Chain A
Amino acid sequence: MRDVFVIGAGQTPVGEHWHLGLRELGAAAIRAALDDAGIETVDALFAGNMLGGAINGQENLGALLADAAGLLPAEAWKVEAACASGGAAVRAAALAVAAGVHDVAVAVGIEKMTDAVAEQVTVGLATASDGDYEASHGMSFVALSALLMRRYMHETGACREDFAPFAVNAHRNAASNANAMFREPISGEDFARSPQVAAPIGVLDAAPVCDGAAAVVVCSREALRPAHRAVRIAAAAAATDTIGLAGRADLLTLGAARRSAEKAFAASGFAPQDCDLFEAHDAFTIITALSLEACGFAPRGEALKRAAHGCFARGGCIPLSTCGGLKARGHPVGASGAYQVVEATAQLRGEAGANQVAGARVALTQSIGGHGSIAVTHVLEA
Chain B
Amino acid sequence: MDLPRYHRLTAPYYRLEGRRCKRCGELQFPPREACGACRGRETEPYRFCGRGAVYSFAEVAQAPRGFSGPYLVALVELEEGVRVTAQLTDVDADEVEIGMPVEMVTRRLQEKGPQGYLVYGYKFRPVMSRSRAS
Q: How far is the CA of A199 from the CA of B65 in the complex (A)?
A: 20
Q: Which A residues are in CB contact (< 8 Å) with B75?
A: 147, 151, 245-246, 251
Is residue B35 within 8 Å, beta carbon to beta carbon, of the partner chain? Answer: no
- A interface size (C-beta, 8 A): 36
Chain A nearest CB from B124 CB (Å) reads 11
Question: Nearest CB to that of A244 among chain B residues?
Answer: B85
Q: Which B residues are in CB contact (< 8 Å) with A242?
A: 36
Binds B, one of A7-15, A21-29, A130-138, A220-228: A130-138
Known: A132-B9, A151-B75, A151-B98. A199 touches B58 (CB 8 A): yes
Known: A119-B63, A151-B98. A138 touches B109 (CB 8 A): yes
Is residue A204 within 8 Å, beta carbon to beta carbon, of the partner chain? Answer: no
Chain A nearest CB from B20 CB (Å) reads 15
Q: Which A residues are in CB contact (< 8 Å) with B5?
A: 132
Q: How far is the CA of A150 from the CA of B60 in the complex (A)?
A: 13
Q: Which B residues are in CB contact (< 8 Å) with A335?
A: none
Known: A138-B73, A244-B30, A246-B84. A147 touches B57 (CB 8 A): yes
Q: Is the CB of B85 within 8 A of A197?
A: no
Is residue A328 within 8 Å, beta carbon to beta carbon, of the partner chain? Answer: no
Interface residue ranges of B61-97 to A (CB < 8 Å): 61-67, 71, 73-75, 82-87, 93
Q: Is the CB of B61 within 8 A of A197?
A: yes
Is residue A118 within 8 Å, beta carbon to beta carbon, of the partner chain? Answer: yes
Q: Is the CB of B87 within 8 A of A151?
A: no
Q: Which B residues are in CB contact (< 8 Å) with A200?
A: 58
Chain B nearest CB from A86 CB (Å) reads 23
Chain B interface, >50% SS class: strand
Binds B, one of A32-40, A120-128, A184-192, A295-303: A120-128
Q: Which of B57, B64, B86, B98 has the most chain A CB within a 10 Å cutoff?
A: B64
Is residue A366 within 8 Å, beta carbon to beta carbon, of the partner chain? Answer: no
Q: Digitize A192-209: 1 where CB-to-B-CB distance is under 8 Å, 0 elsewhere.
A: 000011111100000000
Among candidates B36, B55, B56, B67, residue contacting A247 with C-beta atoms closer than 8 Å: B36
Q: Which A residues are in CB contact (< 8 Å) with B101?
A: none
Q: How far is the CA of A137 from the CA of B60 in the complex (A)?
A: 11
Chain A nearest CB from B110 CB (Å) reads 7
Q: How far is the CA of A197 from the CA of B9 in the complex (A)?
A: 30
Is residue A357 within 8 Å, beta carbon to beta carbon, of the partner chain? Answer: no
Is residue B118 within 8 Å, beta carbon to beta carbon, of the partner chain? Answer: no
Q: Which A residues are in CB contact (< 8 Å) with B58?
A: 143, 146-147, 150, 198-201
Q: How far is the CA of A83 from the CA of B106 in the complex (A)?
A: 33
Q: Which B residues are in CB contact (< 8 Å) with A146?
A: 58-59
Is residue B100 within 8 Å, beta carbon to beta carbon, of the partner chain? Answer: no
Category for how many chain B residues contact A? 35 or more
Question: Nearest CB to that of A242 among chain B residues?
Answer: B36
Q: Is the CB of A251 within 8 A of B55?
A: yes
Chain A nearest CB from B72 CB (Å) reads 9
Q: Is the CB of A133 within 8 A of B61?
A: no
Q: Is the CB of B98 within 8 A of A245?
A: no
Q: How far is the CA of A151 from the CA of B56 in the complex (A)?
A: 5
Q: Is the CB of A148 within 8 A of B64?
A: no
Q: Is the CB of A119 within 8 A of B73?
A: no
Chain B nearest CB from A26 CB (Å) reads 27
Among candidates B57, B64, B74, B83, residue contacting A140 with C-beta atoms closer than 8 Å: B64
Interface residue ranges of B90-134 to A (CB < 8 Å): 93, 98, 109-110, 119, 121
Chain A nearest CB from B35 CB (Å) reads 12
Known: A137-B109, A138-B73, A246-B83. A150 touches B63 (CB 8 A): no
Is residue A210 within 8 Å, beta carbon to beta carbon, of the partner chain? Answer: no
Is residue A309 within 8 Å, beta carbon to beta carbon, of the partner chain? Answer: no
Q: Is the CB of A136 within 8 A of B85?
A: no
Question: What residues of chain A have their CB less than 8 Å away from a CB belonging to chain B?
Answer: 118-120, 122-123, 126, 130, 132-140, 142-143, 146-148, 150-151, 154, 196-201, 242, 244-247, 251
Question: Nearest 8 CB-CB pairs, A to B?
Answer: A146-B58, A151-B56, A119-B65, A122-B64, A246-B83, A138-B67, A147-B56, A246-B85
List 12 additional contacts besides A132-B30, A135-B64, A138-B71; criterion CB under 8 Å.
Answer: A119-B65, A132-B5, A133-B84, A134-B85, A138-B60, A139-B60, A140-B63, A142-B60, A143-B59, A146-B58, A147-B75, A150-B98
Can you list 29 residue pairs at the A/B interface with Cβ under 8 Å?
A120-B65, A123-B65, A130-B85, A132-B9, A133-B85, A136-B109, A136-B110, A136-B121, A137-B85, A138-B63, A138-B67, A139-B60, A139-B73, A139-B85, A142-B62, A146-B59, A147-B58, A147-B74, A147-B75, A150-B98, A151-B55, A196-B59, A198-B59, A244-B30, A244-B85, A245-B75, A246-B29, A247-B28, A251-B75
